[in-house]
Structure 1
Amino acid sequence: MTASGIERDAMHRALALAARGPRGVNPQVGAVILAPDGTVLAEGWHRGAGTPHAEVDALSRLAPGGARGATAVVTLEPCNHTGRTGPCSEALIAAGVARVVYAASDPGPHSAGGAERLRAAGVDVDAGVRAEDAEQLIASWLTVQRLGRPHVTVKWAQSLDGRAAASDGSSQWITGPDARADVHRRRASADAIVAGTGTVLADDPALTARDDAGGLLPDQPVPVVIGRRPIPETAAVRRHPKPLRQFDDLSTALAELGAQGVHRVFVEGGPTLASAFLRAGLADEVLVYVAPVLLGGDRLALTDIGVGTIGEALRLQTSRIDRLGDDLLVVAHPSPEGVH
């Protein structure tokens, strides 16, 4: 049975409800319960780890038996496992729901299988309704499920001739105010911002997301430092509104951050750290801010990324190029083939 116009409208509403929930260990999910005549009976969304899932949240707003014969419209395939809460598939079956319409399939090895369980219980199931919109909403969560780590964006600013700093090490500012404002907006949309100990000790960055006047934006990424050298108590990053996290290596950092609900990692820690992420194959997106200046010298924007010959070059696919004042932003992703 193909989703009706009423069900598609309900999915639009469910997606809006899902967006109210926080990013974290669990995905953002919304649900709408429809009566057989299409009337909305109840709505719900997931409010964070340990709270009822969207389907259960919506069902809890109905009297016992109130969902019998109803249709549940959900942005993600109902889960089929017991974690902090029980399986949503079982909750829908127990409530007497007759039909389930969902958008995105659950890729989790432990939580998937809800659709199969519902069908086995005689529930009519329609999958993939507005799946692209749902997947876009939870794209970072899906990355964590598929890769087992957060989505990583590696950013750097460089001169037209590929330098990250002048010969004396000075680098503020290669790019102009429009490019810097764009960086701060992207910091605010990330869950964590990562720098290396070398950059923190040399430049004393605050690792905050700020507005044009220098004030803190409402959303701040968790500051993360990679490296073994101690960070002074007087360092600017220790005055960040969120506690500093420090790790010895990239893999440990990503694993622990992912386990704590960090989905989006923004790396801007200088040439050494950017190169390390690229060399390890841990960059999902590359942002390169290019300023129309020439610096010369040996302060390259990248160091060794494991490329010995041209045949080993890391090939990227450019997804967009934006002009920011006099500067250019190149957004690229590693090609599916990786190296050529």
Structure 2
Amino acid sequence: MARAPSQAPAAKTAKAELASADIAPFPLPLATPPMEAHTADELPPDDGAWLYEPKWDGFRCLAFKAGEAVDLRAKSGKPLGRYFPEVVALLREVQAERFVIDGELVVEIDGRIAFDALQMRLHPAESRIRKLAGETPARFIAFDMLVAPDGRTLLDEPLSERRRALEAFMAGAALPKRLVLSPQTRDRAKAEGWLGASGEGPTDGVVAKRRDGPYEPGERAMVKVKRARTADCVVGGFRYQSKSRLVGSLLLGLYDDEGKLNHVGFTATISDAERPALTKRLDALRAPPGFTGKTPGGPSRWSTERSGEWKPLRPELVVEVRFDQVTARRFRHGTKLVRWRPDKAPRQCTFEQIAPPRAAVLLDG
């Protein structure tokens, strides 16, 4: 459940918009923040106290409706309606007069969640947004209900009751591939299956929520576990540490269908003890061009203290890294080095490993 770009101070802005908006009052303030989750390495125990849901790689969104008025709010509190007019229109057509639901905006292309396509919506030109809304319409995946259609505020109700209200609502409102109900289970084994032991599961992870827990806006009252995804990458270059001749980070590459090696990210999880020997090993392999497709730019926002200059290597070394998310065929964040793979041929390191998860397995409704 990725964040839409944060634009602080979101809460103050949302409150100001609510105060000045000449629309029907919504059943909750637009500044209401969604309940959040803290990260864990494993799911909570299967003791009957938890409900498990897939974690989607989209924009977290609270959807408000009051009569003809519909508003979509990002996790940051900023309005999203102008970027997703097709979702606003969809919710406006729902028969219920008022509600507030928590969910995720996603775009699916060829059966896969496409975060890149979602980001393309954040465009200043309305004509461009309308075009994309028609070509790749977003869907809203609902997973919680804060205000029921009868006007009841459900924040203090246990999740089990909120889920029943949401299911009753969705029984009449759901539309295939447009407005869908997120799966949920009490079976921890099934949730483990969603995580995908091989890293090829259909979701971005799993969120665990207490069955008897209330909805706590802004609080990290849930538990999220991300899928453990790994990829074998070619070390196409490296950067020295700032003001040092020891390696600071390895630059990672994957081969595309044309046989070109493209830069896809980096890993800097190298222990101080191994830096001297690794630096000698890398220096012996220095040779241009390193990458034959997309090449590294200057220092990234994660490595501002390292040198922007990078050294190309012969594409002979392969390393396995752990990553969480991918955007525009690049690792969205830094990766963790798992192990060296001398048994792996560099040409086996292709983009197929980091293809986005398929959504249709769980969202075929």
Question: When the two structures are superposed, what TM-score results if normalisation uses the length of structure 2?
Answer: 0.26
Higher strand share: 2
Bigger proportion of residues as helix: 1
Report the TM-score when normalising by structure 1: 0.28
Q: Which gives a bigger RCO, structure 1 or 2 (Cα 8 Å, sep 6+)?
A: 2
